[in-house]
Structures are given as structure tokens and as C-alpha cells.
Amino acid sequence: MLKLVAKGFYNELINYGVNEADVLAVAGHLLDNVMQKSSSTNKETEYYNRLFAIKDVKDEWAAAKRLTLQEVSIAPLSPSLVPQIVNWLREPATRESFYPRFPDSKEDLANYFQAPTREYFSIFQQQKLAGIIGAENIHLESARLEMRKLVGDPELHGKGIGKRATFLFLYHSFVIRKSRKVFLHSLDINIRNINLNGKFGFELEGVFLEEAMIQGKWRDVVRMALAGPVWLELFS
């Protein structure tokens, strides 16, 4: 896992125009930080269970098909929102963060969401549409599904919407749907997504080497997974 994070970090440095000699200097600065940290500040693996607990979820699923956590809600995705999602996906960086990609046209995307092996939700922040989160490859026999998420407007990134929506989605998967396992695919360069998932207890399950072609370059794809009992224990 750390090797992958380091590889993503290396790619980012090169993208920022840092040359190879300076990458070594960055590695030295990283070590300086380790040396400066007193042992009391070294933390065990961090989880979001200091921020959220299962009891914090306002569960109105039975009556109103809505789950809420600290001003972020999820509800079944309405087909009327497809044009907005198509707009979000027009942004190449957003479109290419998904593996495999979502369909491009409104018609194809509307059909895509209706497939019986998928279940998508809208994400709202204080009643305002902020993104989508959903299940793909729902496998009833083995009670597993794949998670995908998008906070649509890049200006809303980094405000905690993604992690609250993920928590609500995991609540839906493990408490309401009673799934056994949730898994996901992430590009090796998507450090934000890998960080977020790790703090919910997702662990690396495998790496698909040079699996996806992104902007003319082959990228590795990471598969991570979280078992229901692990999440229930971490967040109860």
C-alpha cells in the first residue's frame, strides 16, 4: 500500500515539474519530518471513527428513503438529475478518475443507472445536490457490491462531503442492504480517494498493473475492500 502511495506521490511531483534530482531532496525532507516528530505524536492507523459513529446516522430510510449525517444526505438518484451528472463528467479530470468510465451521453447514462445490478444515490449538502454515490456489480448471492462516488463540483472538494456520503453509503450497504463486503477500484494516482477509503477500514486487495489508459499513459488500478463486520466493529 505504501509503495503505491509513494508511486502516486512520485507521479504528482513529476507532474508538478519537480525533476528527478529534486525528488531525492523531497525524500530527504520527508525523513526530516519523521526525525522531528516526537514519539508521542506518532499515531496508530487513523480511522474516521473519531468523527462518526453508526448512531449518528439519521435513518429515515423506511419512511422517506433518506439517510443523513451532519448536513449531508443521500437519497435514491432521480432520473431528472442525469443532465447535471453528464455536465460534471464533461470535466476530463473527473471523467478519467473512474475506472471503467461512465457513459458520455444522457441516454446511455440514464440506461446505465437503471441496470438491476446498480443502485445509485444523490448526495445533498443542506438540500443542495453535491454529487452521486452508488453500488455497481451488486452480487446478491455473495452479498458484495462495488462502490463509486463523485462530488461533482470541484469547488466542493475537500469540505468533508465525500467522507460523510461514504459513511452513509456504507451504512446503507451494511445495515440496510446487509451486504457482506464492499469493494472499489481506484487509480493509483487518486491519493485523495485511497486516503479516504483507508480511513473507513478499506484494505488493499490487489493491484492490476497497467490496467487503464489515462491521457496516453498506462496506469495501475488498485482494488480495496471492506468487510461488513470490520466496519460495524470500527464504527459502532
What is the binding site for ligand COA (CB under 6 A)?
94, 97-98, 148-151, 157-163, 184, 186, 190-193, 195-196
Which among 123, 128, 132 is positioned nearest to 87, based on CA atoms? 132
Closest CA to 230 of 180, 176, 164, 184: 180
Nearer to ligand COA, 54 or 191 (CB): 191
Smallest distance, Å, CB 219 to ligand COA? 13
- In angstroms, what is the minimal distance from the CB of 233 to ligand COA? 20
Report the residue number, 149 or 172, with the smaller CB distance to ligand COA: 149
Question: Which of 186, 199, 155, 213 has the alpha carbon at shortest distance from 4?
Answer: 186
Residue 135 CB, nearest approach to ligand COA (Å):
12
Q: Least distance in Å: CB of 93 to ligand COA? A: 8
Cα–Cα distance for residue pair 116/150, rounded to 1 Å: 20
If the CB atoms of residues 5 and 232 are measured against ligand COA, the closer one turns out to be 5
Write phi, then psi, for 2 (nearest 5 degrees). -65, -35
Q: Of the two residues 51 and 232, which places its CB atom closer to ligand COA in the complex?
A: 51
Q: Among residues 82 and 189, whose Cβ is nearest to ligand COA? A: 189
CB of 124 to ligand COA, least distance (A): 13
Is the omega angle on the peptide bond into residue 100 within 30 degrees of 0, that is, cis? yes
The string of DSSP letters for 88-131 reads: HHHSHHHHTTSSSPPPSSHHHHHHHHHSTT-EEEEEEETTEEEE
Q: How far apart are CA 137 and CA 115, in angstroms?
A: 10
Q: Is 143 helix (H, G, I), strand (E, B) or coil?
A: coil
102 contact partners, CB below 8 Å, separation of at least 6: 85, 89, 95, 109, 112
| Least Å from the CB of residue 186 to ligand COA | 6
Beta carbon nearer to ligand COA, 115 or 229: 115
